[in-house]
Amino acid sequence: MSQLASALGEYKFDFASKVAGPGNYTKHWSNTYPPDPNADIIIYSEVSNLTYKRMSALSFLYVVYDPYDNVVAVQKLDSFKRSYEPNVVYYTLHPQSDWIEGVYKVRVVIYDKIDRDAFDDKITNDPFGIGNDPDKYKTFYETGANAEEMGVLLDLGNPVAQAVLNFRIDKSVTLYPPDRFLLHDVRFIDNSTERIMGERLKIEVKMDNNYKDDGNIKLAMLVDNAVVSTQEITVKGLSTSTVLFDAKAGKIGTFRLHFGADTPDMKYSNAELTFSIKNETDTTKLETTKISITGMNVNKEFVAIGSNVTVSVTALNNGKSGDKIITVYSNREPVGSAELNLQYLEEKTIEIPITLKTMGINKITVSDAPQLFRNVFVQEGEAGAAQGDTILSRLKESPLKVSMVFVFLVFATTLYYVRMKLKEEGNPAKIPAQTANDTPGKNRLSDLQKIITNKIKNMVKRRIRP
């Protein structure tokens, strides 16, 4: 970069692959681009310490020349700051398909648009300006949004610096950086490289896409050069994705885990690890038994009082081989138990018979898993007779259904009575004279509803009895 005689400030110009903010950009990997309109030639430009009384207004003029010194592109960008922050712009140029191969030149000229004489004359040396129009001066000093209206900006400005940058057009290169995809930081989810025979393994690895477009690749996980799992991965442009692989520890020994991809654009950093697989008895990883309940069920949901119910409980051991006592509860009262022995990673289902002696709904739970429960409805009479009942057999899925049917019958009967009553009241000849002893119609309907409800309850009780 060359500065003109009147140049002030500090300047930076560079080719970038992406820009995140002032001073925060990624340099282009080669400054060489294909003649492809999809390519981005980003020229990062930064000017600092060129403010005048806490204001800077700059124009950046870019002129692009081909290898024969003919102009192929022109662009002007402006930057205004009402602060001491640097002025940063980035010009994105798209090479055309007819551009010839060779070295291209970009000439950048910086113009300072602040008219310092006008600034001093109209702002600095005018002590009465603020008093005459405080709102206008408030805007000018706070944001500078009306700087042009205040007459302190030039149309183009005075050239203060210029720079020349070179880039190359080459048909043999691609749009993508050599590390378009970066695979890194592989690890087991629990960060342990000591594994146990038969164990289910979960492996995590991160993948960066260093280009603006989304990328699709096929990623393979290998153990000692043998493929054990593959995944089709899509990573959004300029972002990072976390990829999870599942595997099973199937052989004793020490192994190397690494990855491969179906693209030459993949690079690797900390993307392999060495791990060992041992027998349960040889490892120090398992210190205690870790048996957890993973499921439970009952074989009946409607039973007669005093009947037996079988509770099925499924448990899994993620720790050292050992025993566990499983206790079954009915409404928080213990009603049965059984002892379970499990090896490491063994899963087993046991059946625990219980007897229910409490009428109504019994909430069945098991120890250490209160979130797993089943409801069993206990009623009078023999289970066989109750289950043989046609109506109850249809409603045995849930006691809630019994209540819903009961409410529906009450509502339907009441509605039928009201309709019949309204028909009778519509015939004047059948309406008896009201006396002082008559109760209001609303009370009569309410009393009748109670009678009907009690009758239906008695009917339901008789249906339940054997």
pLDDT band with cut points at 50, 70 and 90 for residue 380: confident
Q: Which residues sit opposite 80 in a β-bridge? A: 57
Which pTM value belongs to this model?
0.54
Cβ proximity of 208 and 184 under 8 Å: yes
Cβ neighbors of 285 (< 8 A, separation 6 or more) are 192, 194, 196
Listed in order, the ranges of the chain carrying CATH 2.60.40.10 are: 181-282, 291-391
**pLDDT tens digits, residue range 297-321?**
999 999 999 999 999 999 998 888 8
CB 286: neighbour CB atoms within 10 A? 17
**pLDDT tens digits, residue range 404-461?**
656 666 666 677 666 666 666 555 434 334 443 444 444 555 565 566 666 566 655 5
Q: Which residues sit opposite 278 in a β-bridge? A: 196
Listed in order, the ranges of the chain carrying CATH 2.60.40.2550 are: 2-115+152-169
Q: Domain 291-391 sits in which CATH superfamily?
A: Immunoglobulins (2.60.40.10)
Across the range 74-99, mean pLDDT stands at: 96
Average pLDDT, the chain: 85
Cα gap 296→421, rounded to integer Å: 53
Cα gap 290→225, rounded to integer Å: 34
CATH of domain 2-115+152-169: 2.60.40.2550
In CATH, 181-282 is 2.60.40.10 = yes
User: Which amino acid, 11?
Assistant: Y
DSSP annotation of 198 reads T
**pLDDT tens digits, residue range 16-41?**
998 888 889 989 999 999 999 999 99
Cα gap 228→220, rounded to integer Å: 8
Cβ proximity of 18 and 42 under 8 Å: yes
Instruction: State the Cα angle at 114 between 110 and 118, rounded to 5°.
Output: 150
**pLDDT tens digits, residue range 327-371?**
999 999 999 999 999 988 888 999 999 999 999 999 999 988 889
